Amino acid sequence: MRKLSAEEMNRKSKEDFKASTKYPITVVLDNIRSALNVGSIFRTADAFLIEEIIICGISPQPPHKEIYKTALGSTESVNWKYLENSLDAVQDLKEKGYQVFAIEQTQNSIFLHQFELENHAKIAIVFGNEVSGVEQEVIDICHGVIEIEQKGTKHSLNVAVTAGIVIWELHKKMNT
Protein backbone atom coordinates (compact mmCIF):
# COMPACT_ATOMS: atom_id res chain seq x y z
CA MET A 1 0.00 0.00 0.00
CA ARG A 2 1.06 3.53 -0.76
CA LYS A 3 -0.19 6.75 0.80
CA LEU A 4 -2.16 8.93 -1.58
CA SER A 5 -0.82 12.31 -2.62
CA ALA A 6 -2.95 15.40 -2.09
CA GLU A 7 -3.74 15.48 -5.82
CA GLU A 8 -4.94 11.85 -5.77
CA MET A 9 -7.44 12.55 -2.96
CA ASN A 10 -9.63 14.69 -5.25
CA ARG A 11 -10.24 17.28 -2.56
CA LYS A 12 -12.89 19.85 -3.22
CA SER A 13 -11.89 23.45 -3.77
CA LYS A 14 -13.42 25.98 -1.40
CA GLU A 15 -15.78 27.01 -4.21
CA ASP A 16 -16.79 23.38 -4.90
CA PHE A 17 -17.37 22.84 -1.18
CA LYS A 18 -19.58 25.92 -0.98
CA ALA A 19 -21.61 24.72 -3.98
CA SER A 20 -21.95 21.13 -2.70
CA THR A 21 -25.17 19.79 -1.22
CA LYS A 22 -24.64 19.64 2.53
CA TYR A 23 -25.88 17.11 5.03
CA PRO A 24 -28.77 18.67 7.01
CA ILE A 25 -26.75 18.82 10.21
CA THR A 26 -26.12 22.02 12.14
CA VAL A 27 -23.65 22.11 15.00
CA VAL A 28 -24.24 24.46 17.95
CA LEU A 29 -21.28 25.25 20.20
CA ASP A 30 -22.58 26.20 23.66
CA ASN A 31 -19.82 28.10 25.48
CA ILE A 32 -16.83 26.05 24.32
CA ARG A 33 -13.71 27.38 26.06
CA SER A 34 -10.92 26.17 23.81
CA ALA A 35 -10.25 27.72 20.42
CA LEU A 36 -8.36 24.53 19.53
CA ASN A 37 -11.55 22.51 20.09
CA VAL A 38 -13.54 24.97 17.99
CA GLY A 39 -10.99 24.65 15.18
CA SER A 40 -11.09 20.87 15.34
CA ILE A 41 -14.88 20.91 15.11
CA PHE A 42 -14.65 23.15 12.04
CA ARG A 43 -12.33 20.62 10.43
CA THR A 44 -14.72 17.74 11.17
CA ALA A 45 -17.64 19.79 9.81
CA ASP A 46 -15.71 20.32 6.59
CA ALA A 47 -14.82 16.63 6.30
CA PHE A 48 -18.49 15.58 6.43
CA LEU A 49 -20.13 18.47 4.52
CA ILE A 50 -22.02 19.80 7.52
CA GLU A 51 -24.51 22.57 6.81
CA GLU A 52 -23.44 25.11 9.45
CA ILE A 53 -21.78 25.79 12.79
CA ILE A 54 -23.41 28.22 15.20
CA ILE A 55 -20.92 29.55 17.72
CA CYS A 56 -22.47 30.80 20.96
CA GLY A 57 -21.53 32.56 24.17
CA ILE A 58 -17.88 32.53 25.22
CA SER A 59 -16.90 30.19 22.38
CA PRO A 60 -14.02 31.67 20.38
CA GLN A 61 -14.82 32.57 16.79
CA PRO A 62 -12.75 33.26 13.68
CA PRO A 63 -10.51 35.07 13.13
CA HIS A 64 -8.52 33.46 15.95
CA LYS A 65 -4.97 32.12 15.80
CA GLU A 66 -5.74 29.00 17.86
CA ILE A 67 -8.81 28.15 15.76
CA TYR A 68 -6.74 28.47 12.59
CA LYS A 69 -4.10 26.14 14.03
CA THR A 70 -6.50 23.15 14.07
CA ALA A 71 -9.10 24.22 11.50
CA LEU A 72 -6.52 24.24 8.68
CA GLY A 73 -8.60 26.55 6.47
CA SER A 74 -12.00 25.00 7.15
CA THR A 75 -13.25 28.28 8.64
CA GLU A 76 -13.27 29.49 5.02
CA SER A 77 -15.31 26.56 3.69
CA VAL A 78 -17.83 25.79 6.47
CA ASN A 79 -20.72 28.20 6.93
CA TRP A 80 -20.80 29.63 10.43
CA LYS A 81 -22.29 32.43 12.45
CA TYR A 82 -22.08 33.76 15.98
CA LEU A 83 -25.05 34.16 18.31
CA GLU A 84 -24.58 35.44 21.82
CA ASN A 85 -27.11 33.10 23.37
CA SER A 86 -27.38 29.32 22.83
CA LEU A 87 -31.04 29.41 23.85
CA ASP A 88 -31.78 31.77 20.96
CA ALA A 89 -29.87 29.51 18.56
CA VAL A 90 -31.81 26.41 19.62
CA GLN A 91 -35.18 28.19 19.54
CA ASP A 92 -34.45 29.57 16.06
CA LEU A 93 -33.46 26.11 14.78
CA LYS A 94 -36.62 24.56 16.22
CA GLU A 95 -38.74 27.24 14.50
CA LYS A 96 -36.98 26.34 11.23
CA GLY A 97 -38.02 22.70 11.62
CA TYR A 98 -34.82 21.19 12.99
CA GLN A 99 -34.86 18.35 15.49
CA VAL A 100 -32.45 19.63 18.15
CA PHE A 101 -30.50 17.28 20.41
CA ALA A 102 -28.03 18.09 23.15
CA ILE A 103 -24.99 15.83 23.33
CA GLU A 104 -24.80 15.18 27.05
CA GLN A 105 -25.21 12.62 29.82
CA THR A 106 -28.68 12.94 31.33
CA GLN A 107 -31.58 10.92 32.59
CA ASN A 108 -33.48 9.43 29.67
CA SER A 109 -30.75 10.18 27.14
CA ILE A 110 -30.59 8.02 24.01
CA PHE A 111 -27.35 6.21 23.31
CA LEU A 112 -25.90 7.34 20.00
CA HIS A 113 -25.82 3.84 18.55
CA GLN A 114 -29.55 3.44 19.38
CA PHE A 115 -30.57 6.86 18.07
CA GLU A 116 -32.89 6.62 15.07
CA LEU A 117 -32.80 9.50 12.68
CA GLU A 118 -36.11 10.46 11.12
CA ASN A 119 -36.06 10.16 7.34
CA HIS A 120 -35.10 13.49 5.74
CA ALA A 121 -34.97 15.21 9.14
CA LYS A 122 -32.90 18.33 9.62
CA ILE A 123 -30.94 17.88 12.81
CA ALA A 124 -29.02 20.21 15.08
CA ILE A 125 -26.63 18.92 17.72
CA VAL A 126 -25.51 20.99 20.68
CA PHE A 127 -22.06 20.51 22.19
CA GLY A 128 -21.28 22.07 25.56
CA ASN A 129 -18.51 23.54 27.63
CA GLU A 130 -15.51 21.33 28.37
CA VAL A 131 -16.14 21.51 32.13
CA SER A 132 -19.86 22.06 32.65
CA GLY A 133 -21.29 20.58 29.44
CA VAL A 134 -24.46 21.83 27.76
CA GLU A 135 -26.32 24.37 29.89
CA GLN A 136 -29.40 22.89 31.59
CA GLU A 137 -31.67 25.61 30.14
CA VAL A 138 -30.54 24.56 26.67
CA ILE A 139 -31.13 20.87 27.43
CA ASP A 140 -34.62 21.76 28.66
CA ILE A 141 -35.70 23.15 25.26
CA CYS A 142 -34.08 20.47 23.09
CA HIS A 143 -36.13 17.65 21.58
CA GLY A 144 -33.91 15.15 23.36
CA VAL A 145 -30.43 14.20 24.47
CA ILE A 146 -27.96 11.89 22.76
CA GLU A 147 -25.20 10.25 24.76
CA ILE A 148 -22.13 8.33 23.68
CA GLU A 149 -22.08 5.11 25.70
CA GLN A 150 -18.80 4.84 27.60
CA LYS A 151 -17.53 1.83 29.51
CA GLY A 152 -14.29 3.00 31.13
CA THR A 153 -13.50 4.88 34.33
CA LYS A 154 -13.59 8.33 32.70
CA HIS A 155 -17.13 9.12 31.66
CA SER A 156 -16.22 12.05 29.49
CA LEU A 157 -14.56 12.70 26.16
CA ASN A 158 -12.95 15.81 24.75
CA VAL A 159 -15.64 17.90 23.05
CA ALA A 160 -13.87 17.83 19.67
CA VAL A 161 -13.54 14.04 19.88
CA THR A 162 -17.22 13.82 20.83
CA ALA A 163 -18.17 15.99 17.86
CA GLY A 164 -16.18 13.74 15.55
CA ILE A 165 -17.88 10.60 16.83
CA VAL A 166 -21.40 12.06 16.72
CA ILE A 167 -21.02 13.68 13.31
CA TRP A 168 -19.53 10.48 11.85
CA GLU A 169 -22.40 8.39 13.25
CA LEU A 170 -25.05 10.81 11.93
CA HIS A 171 -23.29 10.87 8.56
CA LYS A 172 -23.44 7.04 8.45
CA LYS A 173 -27.11 7.01 9.40
CA MET A 174 -27.91 9.54 6.66
CA ASN A 175 -26.18 7.36 4.09
CA THR A 176 -28.14 4.17 4.80
Domains of the chain: which residue ranges? 21-149+156-174
How distant, in Å, are the alpha carbons of 9, 35, 124 from that of 4? 7, 30, 34
What pTM value is reported for the model?
A: 0.96
Q: What CATH architecture does domain 21-149+156-174 belong to?
A: 3-Layer(aba) Sandwich (3.40)
**Which amino acid is located at 12 in the chain?**
K
- Rounded Cα gap, residues 176 and 77, in angstroms: 26
Three-class secondary structure assignment of 48-72: CCEEEEEEECCCCCCCCHHHHHHHC
The pLDDT tens digits of the residues spanning 18-40 come to: 999 999 999 999 999 999 999 99
The pLDDT tens digits of the residues spanning 85-143 come to: 999 999 999 999 999 999 999 999 999 999 999 888 899 999 999 999 999 999 999 99
